[in-house]
A and B are shown apart, each in its own frame.
Chain A
């Protein structure tokens, strides 16, 4: 944690209204008002707020993360509505990012929400990652995830990668310099992946909720995030496994990167 951040944190406090909203989570051991202030101080970039990212954003808004940046291009389609809980039928044909932001603001007016009607690309990844203390990677295409990973590593920001396929889901947390990054795992872009994938909303929402918990843990310094580990969930059999990952010493993105002294 850098000095400026530390000083800044102490200049903030919770309002009575916020204490009332978060009362039941302030009881979580090791969290308390200090943890809540860390969440209030934090900005999280969520890339695409669909089935996974929308659920993740919903829980970060519920938990009182101070600022959520939602990057998601395009207008809502009917086929989004089996999983994208921040949207509504009335929003068909309208901006996904704007209606997700409206929903989150209505749910928790203490959270600042910044909608950006863009998907991640090489052109915007560096700028968008720079806006955040933590990145939630929930886009349905590997190039977007790998662009985010590249700039999260370059800027020393934690990245929570949440993904699903059919009845399965995977989750890992990248802490630059402390464990493998996405490029260590996928030195070349996975070829089998296709833009359209089978999905139940509840599977996407499960990994979105788990990813929200990873973000809360990293921001508040709670528990043990999945650094150097990957959670694999098979919702068909309800088998959950935690795998141990290897960092690639020759990784094109993170080789030689040391653990940042700065916590988010």
Chain B
């Protein structure tokens, strides 16, 4: 199935693109999808998404469509994910 991912803030910089569409196995959760993403990008991107123990960082916000979701969310064909590294610029 096809999943589109939109990158926001520092994640966009590290990914080098604003969005991309990936072909992933069906029955894929958000967490599995995110680990697949880290395999496709460089260490800077990976360091933003996962900690030293390869666990997805809890300080990131993940959305499917416009909804803030948990890592266990099952993804469906055609859905769009947004990944936000939260901002604090004041």
Interface residues of A (CB under 8 A from B): 48, 50-53, 138-142, 145, 162-166, 168-170, 185-193, 197, 199, 204, 230, 232, 234, 241-246
Please pick, from A139, A230, A244, the residue contacting B88 in the complex, using a CB distance under 8 A.
A139
Point out the residues of chain A lying under 8 angstroms from B89, CB to CB: 51-52, 140, 163-165, 197, 199, 204
Question: Chain B: which residue is nearest A162 at the CB level?
Answer: B90
Q: A170 and B68: CB pair below 8 A?
A: no
Known interface pairs A166-B9, A185-B61, A187-B59; A48-B86 also in contact (CB < 8 Å): no
* Total of A-B residue pairs, C-beta within 8 Å: 94
| Interface SS of A by simple majority | mixed
Q: A52 and B90: CB pair below 8 A?
A: yes
| Pairs across A and B, CB under 8 Å, 15 listed | A51-B90, A140-B89, A142-B86, A163-B90, A164-B89, A189-B59, A193-B86, A197-B87, A197-B88, A230-B61, A234-B8, A241-B66, A242-B66, A244-B68, A245-B68
Point out the residues of chain B lying under 8 angstroms from A139, CB to CB: 88, 90
Point out the residues of chain A lying under 8 angstroms from B9, CB to CB: 165-166, 168
Q: A168 and B58: CB pair below 8 A?
A: no
Q: B87 and A163: CB pair below 8 A?
A: yes
Shortest CB distance B35–A (Å): 18
Report the Cα distance A242→B68, complex, angstroms.
Answer: 11
Question: At the interface, yes or no: B48 with Cβ under 8 Å from chain A?
Answer: yes
Question: Chain B: which residue is nearest A199 at the CB level?
Answer: B89
Chain B residues 31-58 with CB under 8 Å of chain A are: 48, 51, 57-58
Report the Cα distance A32→B87, complex, angstroms.
Answer: 35
Known interface pairs A166-B9, A241-B66, A244-B66; A190-B59 also in contact (CB < 8 Å): yes
Question: At the interface, yes or no: B29 with Cβ under 8 Å from chain A?
Answer: no
Q: A186 and B90: CB pair below 8 A?
A: no
Report the Cα distance A199→B63, complex, angstroms.
Answer: 25
Question: At the interface, yes or no: B84 with Cβ under 8 Å from chain A?
Answer: yes
Point out the residues of chain A lying under 8 angstroms from B68, CB to CB: 185, 230, 243-246
Q: B10 and A192: CB pair below 8 A?
A: yes
Point out the residues of chain B lying under 8 angstroms from A243, CB to CB: 63, 66-68, 82
Shortest CB distance A6–B (Å): 34
Question: At the interface, yes or no: B28 with Cβ under 8 Å from chain A?
Answer: no
Point out the residues of chain A lying under 8 angstroms from B60, CB to CB: 190
Shortest CB distance A118–B (Å): 15
Point out the residues of chain B lying under 8 angstroms from A48, CB to CB: 90
Question: At the interface, yes or no: B3 with Cβ under 8 Å from chain A?
Answer: no
Q: A192 and B90: CB pair below 8 A?
A: no
Point out the residues of chain B lying under 8 angstroms from A142, CB to CB: 86, 88
Point out the residues of chain A lying under 8 angstroms from B90, CB to CB: 48, 50-53, 138-140, 162-164, 204
Shortest CB distance A100–B (Å): 13
Known interface pairs A141-B88, A193-B86; A165-B10 also in contact (CB < 8 Å): yes
Report the Cα distance A192→B59, complex, angstroms.
Answer: 9
Question: Chain A: which residue is nearest B63 at the CB level?
Answer: A243
Point out the residues of chain B lying under 8 angstroms from A191, CB to CB: 51, 57, 59
Q: B84 and A232: CB pair below 8 A?
A: yes
Q: A190 and B67: CB pair below 8 A?
A: no
Known interface pairs A165-B10, A243-B63, A244-B68; A188-B88 also in contact (CB < 8 Å): no
Shortest CB distance A26–B (Å): 31
Question: Chain A: which residue is nearest B86 at the CB level?
Answer: A190
